Chain A
């Protein structure tokens, strides 16, 4: 690599420096707002205070955080249970048709926007939606099931929302595993289930760890899904932030909640990095 900097160096780096400065400045003003007093009914903020951080301890807000963590955790586990078989089939299946079906169903949702994907669930889960309509015409139920605006409905939508990302992460991990290990175990008499449990799963630990944590952090940042499918009855951090900002104009407290969410996500990813390093030291990758 050349080390002496050419004349164009400054011009190349300048636009990126500006963007980095804008991003840093916005996060700094977020921090600054967290320490300002909210004046009810006004967009102006008052003097410096620590009160916004104290309000974090109120049960309403603590509950939103606990709900968000719980929903994110369930989403991550659900993703692992559904995503692993799919990723495994994507990498190891002999059928080209199955592989391309999985690839297409995985990739297309990744590129259709949040709103389209979330709205679709309203049509599926609604009172007269697909599930209730089908069950009713089959004569299985008389009164529609409550799915929309419930934690279960939000969870169903959240898992589907993040599954493509999980499949991509897991498929990358599984494709790094040498098939020879699995074949050796099988030829020594291990049943398919035992091969999966004792060979493939342990070897895909790095993917499982990074996939689960990534989905957990990702879901913690979700907004559109809980906003529309939760309909104000199931609130995650993002929905609280939006409501505080645009209904109450309480931007100082919204800023505090946004920062706490950011710190949570960073902590999660930090612990994931620590975990990955340990796995590497064990020599699994």
Chain B
């Protein structure tokens, strides 16, 4: 009986170890490949070189894609932050006709396949002569990340004691003042989390973006996709390694600043 328990415990440990290796292996292999000296993807690498990093940093389409991506991300996450906060606040605090429908529509991008949304936005844009514009990409991203901002606001709003709002109102503050001076400061950490989450999602969004961008508006993930289709050298491994490193740094900072629990609660809250 005890021997069987030991064997089970060992198998359980082994399964977890193998799964962890399986999940991390691709990133590790990509980072190793990025330092290879051969132009072909080969494992194990035969020599060490930094030339693929040089090429990735100097590659025009990546530079333009990064610039486009940062501009689109900045606009999209900020617009989503403002619209999402206001909407979530009103939906959480007041009753009005069509409230449930509005909320369902605003949250629906969580479950709509991104390619469906991409095709839909592309068709709508072409009908109103807006295809291949930055506005289209930004609106598309705002719609995609809005639910995450709203979740972040819901989670934080439920932690605010309504007595604080009532106290301010009874002391003569107008409703707008209550919102600006009481709710907004209390919501701030949650909003920062939502904004960060929205920004990361928007920056990395690929599927819907591929449908709604053109040559002029392409973001970094789209430029990277085009690169994989044309070349097979480790330049992609180099830029992927840099993005993985940036993600890790960003998460470490976010953890210090906000706590990962808060970020995960945005991922999860329904």
The residues of A with any CB-CB pair to B shorter than 8 Å are: 1-3, 5-9, 11-13, 15-17, 19-20, 22-27, 29-30, 33, 43, 82, 85-86, 89, 98, 101-103, 105-117, 119-124, 126, 128-130, 132-134, 137, 160, 163-164, 168-169, 172, 191-193, 217, 220-221, 223-224, 228, 237-238, 241-242, 245, 251, 254-255, 258-259, 261-262, 265-266, 269
When chains A and B are docked, how far (Å) is the Cα of A74 from the Cα of B20?
Answer: 20
- What is the number of residues of chain B that contact chain A, defined by CB distance less than 8 Å? 92
New A-B pairs, 10, CB < 8 Å, besides A16-B146, A112-B27: A12-B89, A26-B123, A86-B16, A112-B204, A119-B224, A120-B26, A121-B26, A191-B1, A221-B113, A242-B115
A2: chain B residues within 8 A (beta carbon): 93-94, 165, 169, 175
Residue of B nearest to A83 (CB): B19
Among B39-65, those with CB < 8 Å from A are 40-44
B25 touches A8 (CB 8 A): no
A105 touches B23 (CB 8 A): yes
- Selected from A9, A106, A107, the residue in CB contact (under 8 A) with B90 is A9
- Selected from A1, A3, A85, the residue in CB contact (under 8 A) with B16 is A85
The residues of B with any CB-CB pair to A shorter than 8 Å are: 1, 4-5, 8-9, 12, 15-16, 19-20, 22-27, 29-30, 33, 40-44, 79, 82-84, 86-87, 89-90, 93-96, 102, 105-106, 108-109, 111-117, 119-124, 126-127, 139, 142-143, 146, 162, 165, 169, 174-176, 179, 200, 203-207, 210-211, 221, 224-225, 228, 236-237, 240, 243-244, 247-248, 250-251, 260, 264, 267-268
- Nearest 9 CB-CB pairs, A to B? A113-B204, A6-B175, A120-B26, A221-B113, A133-B43, A16-B87, A26-B120, A15-B83, A30-B120
B115 touches A223 (CB 8 A): yes
Known: A192-B5, A261-B116. A15 touches B87 (CB 8 A): yes
B26 touches A43 (CB 8 A): no
B205: chain A residues within 8 A (beta carbon): 113
The B contact surface, by secondary structure, is helix
Residue of B nearest to A112 (CB): B247
When chains A and B are docked, how far (Å) is the Cα of A137 from the Cα of B44?
Answer: 9
When chains A and B are docked, how far (Å) is the Cα of A224 from the Cα of B207?
Answer: 7
The A contact surface, by secondary structure, is helix
Q: Chain B's nearest CB lies how many Å from the CB of A58?
A: 20
B27: chain A residues within 8 A (beta carbon): 108-109, 112, 120
Task: Give the interface centre of A8, A111, A112, A254 by most chain B CB atoms within 10 Å.
Answer: A111
B114: chain A residues within 8 A (beta carbon): 221, 223
A20 touches B106 (CB 8 A): yes
B165: chain A residues within 8 A (beta carbon): 2
B221 touches A16 (CB 8 A): no
A101: chain B residues within 8 A (beta carbon): 20
B15 touches A85 (CB 8 A): yes
Known: A23-B109, A129-B41. A160 touches B23 (CB 8 A): yes
18 pairs from A and B in contact (CB 8 Å cutoff): A1-B94, A2-B165, A6-B175, A15-B83, A16-B90, A16-B102, A85-B15, A122-B41, A123-B26, A124-B26, A128-B43, A129-B41, A137-B44, A172-B268, A237-B115, A254-B119, A255-B123, A265-B111
A115: chain B residues within 8 A (beta carbon): 204, 206, 221, 224-225, 228, 240
When chains A and B are docked, how far (Å) is the Cα of A269 from the Cα of B110?
Answer: 12
B111 touches A22 (CB 8 A): no
Known: A8-B179, A128-B41. A120 touches B111 (CB 8 A): no
Q: Chain A's nearest CB lies how many Å from the CB of B266?
A: 11
B123 touches A191 (CB 8 A): no
B95: chain A residues within 8 A (beta carbon): 3
Q: Chain B's nearest CB lies how many Å from the CB of A89?
A: 5
When chains A and B are docked, how far (Å) is the Cα of A116 from the Cα of B16?
Answer: 24
B89 touches A241 (CB 8 A): no
A98: chain B residues within 8 A (beta carbon): 16
When chains A and B are docked, how far (Å) is the Cα of A254 from the Cα of B116?
Answer: 9
- Selected from A123, A223, A265, the residue in CB contact (under 8 A) with B30 is A123
